[in-house]
Amino acid sequence: MTPLLYRLGYSCARHPARVLVIWLMAALVIVGVARSVGQETNDNLSLPGTDSQAASNLLGDKFPDQANGSVPIAFRAPAGTKLQTEGGQRG
């Protein structure tokens, strides 16, 4: 096994462009096969009759712009503390 691996490594070192082309072709073939065989993904999820679906419907009715696509996060800062935004501005 060692002589085989030695020859493979030696060949790869002597012909790096060929190795790169072979890897790129293999990646393209794998991606092509995965796209043709696999299912198309989506983010539509419906679970009729569950509490999660009821909450999702309520959010969609009350807050249509934010429903099912964002996860709001609330922060609590001690009184008198100034928070800093990403851009460095204080608010």
- Is 90 in a helix, a strand, or coil? strand
Confidence of residue 91 (pLDDT cuts 50, 70, 90): very low
Q: What percent of the chain has pLDDT over 90?
A: 35
The average pLDDT across 71-88 equals: 66
Chain-centre distance of CA 90, in angstroms? 31
Cβ-Cβ contacts under 8 Å for 89 (sequence gap 6 or more): none
Mean pLDDT for the chain overall:
79
- Is 79 in a helix, a strand, or coil? coil
Q: How confident is the model at residue 46, as a pLDDT?
A: 73
Q: How confident is the model at residue 70, as a pLDDT?
A: 59
Better-scored residue on pLDDT, 10 or 57: 10
Better-scored residue on pLDDT, 89 or 42: 42
Alpha-carbon gap, residue 21 to 67, rounded angstroms: 46
For the beta carbon of residue 59, count every other beta carbon within 10 angstroms.
15
